[in-house]
Amino acid sequence: MPNGIAFSPDERRLYINNSDANNKIWFVYDVKFDGTLGEGQVLYESKDKAAGVPDGLRIDKKGNLWSSGPGGINIISPDGRLLGVVQFPEVPANCGWGGADGKTLYVTARTGLYRIRTKVEGIRP
């Protein structure tokens, strides 16, 4: 159940998350010189039982993934470590960077729209 998709800052890696509640996985694919993809690997797999599945996905300038997932917005390093989870009053569905300096993360949920200031700038499409 692929859903969120984003490139690393240098566009050499492609991240895709899986929105299956039984397999909460983020995958990574190397992008070859000719633009094709190498074989995918599991970047991170969450065993967290909290509400939420991998869905919306964005990348910051340091290459970290910001993705909806169990418990809120999961922040995952490019090497597959969970750096933290930003919690919200309801389960997030999607997220995107904005603001004049690109350091505001907007998060959508079932009934609400949230924004948080971050210390890192996000990559905007």
| Tokens at 29, concatenated | 């694919």
**pTM of the complete model:** 0.95
39-89 tens-digit pLDDT: 999 999 999 999 999 999 999 999 999 999 999 999 999 999 999 999 999
CB 95 within 8 A of CB 112: no
